[in-house]
Structure 1
Amino acid sequence: MPIPHRPPTIESPSFLARFPFLPQGDKWLKELLSDNNINLDSLIEGEWVEPIRIRGMQRMLESIKLDEGVDSTTRQDIHEPYGQMVEGLGFYYAMIVVCASFDERLVKRWVEGEASRADKILGELTDSETFDTVARTYLSDIRIKTQEASSGSIHASRPSKIIFEIPMVDFIEISPRITGHYWNLVNRPTRDGWVTISEASGENSQQRLARLIKERIREVLVDRCKHNMNNMDDEFAAKFADPVGKMVAELQLQKSQEIEITAVHQGDWPPCMTSAITDLSQGENVNHAGRRFLANMSRALALSIDQAQSFFVNAPDYNEETTRYQLGHLYEGEYTPEKCQTLKMAARCPVDQGLVTDRLCQFEWLTHPLKYVRAKQRRRSREENYATAEGDQTPSIASQTNSEDNNS
């Protein structure tokens, strides 16, 4: 891993308060505890430490509710000692609570929130020296070149643009975790072992590089949490039972709401899809063909990658980053979901296996799961139209099915 063995020295407390996750901040956080006479008991129960706990809970809640966005602004004046203490130890408190939960879902969600916050801050930074320091903390090297901006007039001024370049070894290690054609090495300008991080997708070079750095921050924080949990005994973790319980409950609530979103018109989904989702949710191992089909089907039904990923979280071999990468690859490829015959050969058709009964699947014209969805949608549309028409009664399922047989 080409992370610098000796990251840049940071002396400014306000700098560390803004980026408390930096490895250079470890010593500073310990000094904050010592200088303010804060021990474990006072951190948990001390009245005057309440603002620290509140800030820590805010950071955790923002991470859990990540879809609502993270706040890149600090809540305190980080140029004053009190604000530095609240921001720094607020992060420290949040990390301890998350680790004390021993809940991998909560850890990953918190890490994602912190990494996203860093991405947003770095992308918005106007202080080039600050950006350079953070970048050199997580990358083996960076260099900057200026590029003259294009102009429609020969008389108009052409302000130069900053373009970042990073070593190829860093790009090769980090970029596979990010989806999108931009992040494929073959699509990036390279020269003498350096990769140009050019602007794209409405983002400038700095914002693109911030996206790469986000992945490194995520990686370092995950390792840090694993280290903390390996060195945390049950007695220590039990002291944080109250905030842990609140955060786990909030995470479960958030997850249930996400599941409700994906369940819209779930009755239209074919049994091969619902079977794969059920098996995964129960921790059963679904074969490669079944997983690929579920991903392709999710894309075809316009489900987001986040929604598709939620189907896999209970898989016995689930890895968030790997799943995200594989889903991104399939979504970008826009592959057509596998047809019924292919699913039968792969043992992923529950009707063919006799596990479920579905009359719609028995028709000869039903040769693809998407035909099942369209038939269900037509049926639902007719039922809704009949329900709103005066004097009309909803036709029987049998008559609807026969009609679908004739029209499909």
Structure 2
Amino acid sequence: MDNKDIALYPYISEASRYVESLDFSLDRLITSRAFDSARIRGKERVLQSIAGEITKPSMSNSDEQKILLELLSYPFSRILVSCMDDPFLTRRYALAEAVSSYRSLKAQDFSFFEDFAQDFDIEFQFHDSSFRVHFTDYIKLASSLKAIEWKLVNRKMVRGNVDISKEEFARLLQEGIKHRIESNLPVSVPPEVCEACESYLVEIRTALEERKSNFGDSEFESIESDLFPPCVTHAIANTQAGVNLAHSMRFAMTSFLLSIGMTVDDIMNLFTASPDFDIEKARYQIEHIAGSSGTHYKPPSCSTMQTYGNCYAPDEMCKKINHPLNYYRRKLWFKSRDAKKETQKETPDVIAEQTQQK
């Protein structure tokens, strides 16, 4: 892997070793005027993650200054995120870095993935212009992807290996990248270092509060995808399978997910597999539905869904409700009721056991 590549993917082991070989101190990175550009770029990475996607500059191996700037900006951006110590920002930053990597990974040659996947302890084989990944690695990476087409039972498996396309492999690696970055944040940063970074943190803090103000509180305490109505489940499955949804169905799915408390970032993550995915356009549309224009849009009723041909495989519950949100409310209520019943069944046994012990 050349220097240009390790600058594009600064969280890999080879990038860390390269930065360590430069033999510079944390104090120099924080205070030296020689690293002003690296600090500004580090702040820009965090601000871009709040606003949307982290954009990477075009580079060649001869662009030594650009390569150095990208490599040094990454540890500084991690320092800034750690000083903020905000879970929302941490998740957003990790996702933005991962999505940016996904977009560049899709354009890489097959041979590039050999070193890259090895850094994540993932073994694979080339077969007929596609990848074969061992099912244990597949499960590890796909576990956070909820659409049914990512379920192992819906995949072709040959001798313990799962066949996937290059784009699907890049999508799975996106999950691995996000997990690596998020699980290693926040890092332990001395208070005096955070104080020295305050001039950078002011702008980040302001941007973060503005972004948070665009989201209203949801009535739902949790997001449970197994309780979604069939129409939404089908739409999500198609989205993650790379199928372009009709505009009316995109609106219905997005407004439903926002209403139950899913963030713009989470929904953006669902749309990354769409063939016509445009991150700026998608973010604008999702945030518009979320209420950035002053109007928070609610999902359409079941009758409207039927009118537009978006009602899919209605079940028995669908016959008793008139709105997708009511479907989700009822399913949550039944799940809560059943959980209480199970608790009540166990309680007498626990009391009897405690009485016998006394």
Q: TM-score range by the shorter chain?
A: 0.5 to 0.7
Aligned ranges for residues 65-80 of structure 1 at < 5 Å? 65-66=51-52, 69-71=53-55, 73-74=56-57, 77-80=60-63
* Counterpart in the other structure of 1:213: 173
In the TM superposition, residue 49 of structure 1 has moved relative to its aligned partner by: 1.7
**Equivalent of 2:21 in 31, 50, 55:** 31
Could you tell me the percent identity over the aligned residues? Answer: 19
> Which has the higher Rg, Structure 1 or Structure 2?
1
Structure 2: distance between partners of 1:232 and 1:124: 36
* Counterpart in the other structure of 1:60: 46
Aligned ranges for residues 2-401 of structure 1 at < 5 Å? 12-32=2-22, 34=23, 38-66=24-52, 69-71=53-55, 73-74=56-57, 77-125=60-108, 127-146=109-128, 162-197=129-164, 205-226=165-186, 228=187, 231-259=188-216, 277=218, 286=221, 302=252, 304=254, 307-308=258-259, 310=261, 336-338=324-326
In the TM superposition, residue 246 of structure 1 has moved relative to its aligned partner by: 1.8
Residues 86 and 312 (structure 1 numbering): CA distance in 2 closer, same or farther, change over 3 Å?
Answer: closer
Q: For 1:315-339, what per-residue CA distance to the aligned partner results, in whole angstroms no more than 9, with x for missing partners?
A: xxxxx98xx99xxxxx999874447
- Give yes or no for contact 2:230–2:313 (8 Å, CA) kept in 1: no
Structure 1: distance between partners of 2:172 and 2:153: 17
Structure 2: distance between partners of 1:341 and 1:239: 48
What letter matches 1:24 in structure 2? E
Superposed CA RMSD = 3.9
In the TM superposition, residue 124 of structure 1 has moved relative to its aligned partner by: 1.3
Structure 1: distance between partners of 2:229 and 2:95: 25
Q: For 1:327-352, what per-residue CA distance to the aligned partner results, in whole angstroms no more than 9, with x for missing partners?
A: xxxx9998744479959977x9xxxx
- Give yes or no for contact 1:298–1:308 (8 Å, CA) kept in 2: no
- Give yes or no for contact 1:97–1:244 (8 Å, CA) kept in 2: yes
- Give yes or no for contact 1:168–1:193 (8 Å, CA) kept in 2: yes
Secondary structure, aligned partner of 2:143: helix
Structure 2: distance between partners of 1:196 and 1:312: 31
- Give yes or no for contact 2:98–2:178 (8 Å, CA) kept in 1: yes
- Give yes or no for contact 2:79–2:189 (8 Å, CA) kept in 1: no
Residues 333 and 165 (structure 1 numbering): CA distance in 2 closer, same or farther, change over 3 Å?
Answer: farther
In the TM superposition, residue 116 of structure 1 has moved relative to its aligned partner by: 0.6
Structure 2: distance between partners of 1:340 and 1:115: 30
Q: Count matched residues.
A: 268
Secondary structure, aligned partner of 2:57: coil
**Which aligned segments of 4 or more residues in structure 1 are displaced greater than 6 angstroms?**
290-295, 331-335, 343-346
Structure 2: distance between partners of 1:338 and 1:77: 54
Residues 303 and 74 (structure 1 numbering): CA distance in 2 closer, same or farther, change over 3 Å?
Answer: same
TM-score (norm 2): 0.63
Gaps in structure 2 of 5+ consecutive residues? 233-248, 271-310, 319-323, 337-358
Secondary structure, aligned partner of 1:225: coil
Residues 83 and 190 (structure 1 numbering): CA distance in 2 closer, same or farther, change over 3 Å?
Answer: same
Residues 84 and 246 (structure 1 numbering): CA distance in 2 closer, same or farther, change over 3 Å?
Answer: same
Structure 2: distance between partners of 1:306 and 1:65: 20
Secondary structure, aligned partner of 1:177: coil
Structure 1: distance between partners of 2:203 and 2:332: 45
In the TM superposition, residue 84 of structure 1 has moved relative to its aligned partner by: 1.7
TM-score (norm 1): 0.56
Structure 2: distance between partners of 1:333 and 1:116: 32
Structure 1: distance between partners of 2:313 and 2:208: 32
- Give yes or no for contact 2:8–2:101 (8 Å, CA) kept in 1: no
Residues 46 and 195 (structure 1 numbering): CA distance in 2 closer, same or farther, change over 3 Å?
Answer: same
- Give yes or no for contact 2:229–2:327 (8 Å, CA) kept in 1: no
In the TM superposition, residue 186 of structure 1 has moved relative to its aligned partner by: 1.3
Q: For 1:214-262, what per-residue CA distance to the aligned partner results, in whole angstroms no more than 9, with x for missing partners?
A: 1111111122224x2xx33333333222322321221221232355xxx
Structure 1: distance between partners of 2:47 and 2:198: 17
What letter matches 2:196 in structure 1? K
Residues 342 and 97 (structure 1 numbering): CA distance in 2 closer, same or farther, change over 3 Å?
Answer: closer
Structure 1: distance between partners of 2:331 and 2:127: 52
Gaps in structure 1 of 5+ consecutive residues? 1-9, 147-161, 198-204, 260-273, 281-285, 314-319, 326-330, 349-408
Q: For 1:259-309, what per-residue CA distance to the aligned partner results, in whole angstroms no more than 9, with x for missing partners?
A: 5xxxxxxxxxxxxxx8xx25x6xxxxx4x7x97899669969825276246
Residues 191 and 235 (structure 1 numbering): CA distance in 2 closer, same or farther, change over 3 Å?
Answer: same
In the TM superposition, residue 113 of structure 1 has moved relative to its aligned partner by: 0.6
What letter matches 2:17 in structure 1? K
Secondary structure, aligned partner of 1:106: helix
Structure 2: distance between partners of 1:113 and 1:41: 27
Q: Which has the higher contact order (CA 8 A, sep 6+)?
A: 2
Residues 297 and 244 (structure 1 numbering): CA distance in 2 closer, same or farther, change over 3 Å?
Answer: farther
Secondary structure, aligned partner of 1:164: strand
